[in-house]
Amino acid sequence: MLTPDIKKYIDQSVLCWLATVSKDGIPNVSPKEIFTYLDEEHLGIAHIASPKSVRNIKATPNVCISFVDIFIQKGYKLIGQAEIIKKSELHFEKQAAKILKIAGPNFPVQALLKVKVLKTAPILAPSYIMYPEKTTEEEQIQGALKTYKVKEYLQDGK
């Protein structure tokens, strides 16, 4: 289910967005910085400070995760079911090994949010759809650098 292309965009993305829903049907979207694929079917997300996401997953395990490479403006939406693997559980260290490595010593992982991916869909900037013959990844990168003033930001040393 997690193709090489999906894994590539996971690796290239800085954040993912985790959407959950409460027992009362109230949606919540939360950015997550520490996430990766665990195998061909599962995504792992670190629970560091996500009490609402955890509470919602306990009530309703259905989740949606999205991530994009902000410069190329491509990514994926993943729909799945999440389970919470607490730090105190027997196989936590083994199942969370990749997440713990990314988190390092500065981010205490309270639990692994392990998502079984059931459905995937690409996310594309509208220009790829509206102008497929003239939209290239290089043009998207140059446009994003200009729009977000990345080069100026780096040059100013901010």
b/e sequence 53-75, b meaning 16+ C-beta within 10 Å: bbebbeeebebbbbbbbbbbbbb
Give the confidence band of 149 by pLDDT, cuts at 50, 70, 90: confident
Residue 88 pLDDT greater than 60, yes or no:
yes
Q: Quick one: 47 and 102 in the same domain?
A: yes
Give the residue numbers spanning the domain of 84. 4-124
Residue 157 pLDDT greater than 60, yes or no:
no
Q: Quick one: 153 and 84 in the same domain?
A: no
Decide: helix, strand or coil at residue 152. helix
Q: What mean pLDDT is predicted for residues 67-84? A: 96
CATH number of the domain where residue 32 is located: 2.30.110.10
pLDDT at site 148 = 80
Tens-place pLDDT, residues 99-132? 999 999 999 999 999 999 999 999 999 999 999 9
Q: Quick one: 22 and 100 in the same domain?
A: yes
* Dihedrals phi, psi of 38, to nearest 5 degrees: -100, -35
